[in-house]
Amino acid sequence: MRISPAELRNRLRTCYSATEAAAMARIICCEMLGQRATDFVLNEPLETDGTQARLLEDAVGRLLRFEPMQYIQGKARFLGRDFHVEPGVLIPRPETEELVERMLREIPANARIADIGTGSGCIAITLALEVPGAQVEAWDISETALRIARQNAKALQAEVDFVHRDALTWPPREKGTLDVIVSNPPYVTEAERTAMEPNVLLHEPEGALFVPNEDPLRFYRCIGLLGREMLAPGGRLYFEINRAYGKETADLLRRQGYTNVQTDKDLSGNDRFVTATQPGQIIGH
């Protein structure tokens, strides 16, 4: 089979913008089929054998059905590391990288950390690898997510204790056992479905995305209550949030008794993160 990068881009243009099609064509040609970057730029045709031709056609077909490129490649980049992803687990987002970068500036060594709703494990594994002496546990209700997260931890040689647990129903049994809780829980309301891209809506797990219109803060409320029991004095809570509910999320945490509640924007200027402190002595002091 013989195909040029331009021909590949034109096939993808039936469903994607010129910029998106060009990026996808580069990944297929250079990363998946091994074409040199200079040959791709010069639009040199690819000569593919039977195996490569099937790989190309499979990738194009899946992209034209709006399957995310990360699922097709089986990996997503997160703060310099490759994490395995597949249908059934949420693809890590750049906004979550921003959250973790902030945490890495603030979390002290030897912190006891829980990542609630771990998904691929990208938050928990990164913290385990980057925070000296950290003790990290990660919860998820999805056995598929936990399988993938454990696979990522093994591949990246990270020590994380993965636990099958539902944050909405699990009662805390021990008080003050954590210094940090972080969560990027489901926060997209059902009403926001119509504004979502088809690659997300058709392929990423609904349970990791959506909350009812009538209770958009359900996870923040439950995790906030868990934090009031499980965080040590001065412990920190880190949330990624729906940009439409920054004030409401912050007000909720203040009502629950947290101090130093702060809402911060992502690089696009949207309210995206809320942090709060368990009353008491600051961790690390």
Residue stretches of the annotated binding site for S-adenosyl-L-methionine = 117-121, 140, 184
Separation between Cα atoms, residue 96 and residue 233, nearest integer Å:
26
Q: Annotated binding site for substrate: which residue ranges?
A: 184-187
Separation between Cα atoms, residue 122 and residue 80, nearest integer Å:
11
Q: Where are the alpha helices (DSSP H) in 131-244?
A: 143-156, 198-203, 218-230
Strand arrangement, sheet containing 271-277: 160-164, 135-140, 112-116, 178-183, 231-240, 271-277, 259-265
230 within 8 A of 178, measured Cβ to Cβ: yes
141 within 8 A of 119, measured Cβ to Cβ: no
Residue appearing with tokens 């890495």: 104
Q: State how far the alpha carbon of 204 is from the alpha carbons of 70, 138, 208, in Å.
A: 11, 20, 8
Residues whose CB falls within 8 Å of the CB of residue 90, separated by 6 or more in sequence, listed in order: 119, 120, 204, 205, 208, 209
Separation between Cα atoms, residue 52 and residue 46, nearest integer Å:
10
The 10 Å CB-count burial string (b at 16+, else e) for 97-123 is bbbbeebeeebbeebbbbbbbbbbbbb
Q: Annotated binding site: which residue ranges?
A: 117-121, 140, 184-187
Residue 55, SS3 per DSSP? helix
58 within 8 A of 9, measured Cβ to Cβ: no
Residue 124, SS3 per DSSP? helix
